[in-house]
Amino acid sequence: MTWYVYMIRTEKNKLYTGIARDYERRFLEHLSGIGGAKFFRSDTPCELVYLEEWDNRSLASKREYEIKQLSRKAKDKLIQSIL
């Protein structure tokens, strides 16, 4: 089963990192505020800016943690690497 690690940029230019099996559905949940992360209560999600595919939840969770530990500069560099 495929899992995705994703980053979303907000209106205030913050980055949110998460995991999901269906990243498009998850983005819509964040956008609607129904079932989305509490993170988005103070800032509206704008766009999906980064996506990685993983074979299982464990690997995706480990990668999510790694990304969350990065500095903002390193996260921006990671995002630029896929453009």
pLDDT digits (tens, 9 = 90+) for 26-74: 999 999 988 889 999 999 999 999 999 999 999 999 999 999 999 999 9
| Alpha-carbon span 50 to 70, nearest angstrom | 14
- Could you tell me which of 55, 53, 49 has the C-alpha nearest to residue 79? 49
Say if residues 40 and 53 touch (Cβ distance below 8 Å).
no
Determine the topology of domain 3-81 in CATH: GIY-YIG endonuclease (3.40.1440)
The backbone region for 78, taken as left when phi is positive above 0, alpha when psi lies in -120 to 50, beta otherwise, is alpha
> Global pTM?
0.94
Each domain of the chain, given as residue ranges in start order, spans 3-81
The sign of the CA dihedral 40, 45, 51, 54 is positive
Quick one: pLDDT at residue 82?
85
Quick one: pLDDT at residue 26?
96
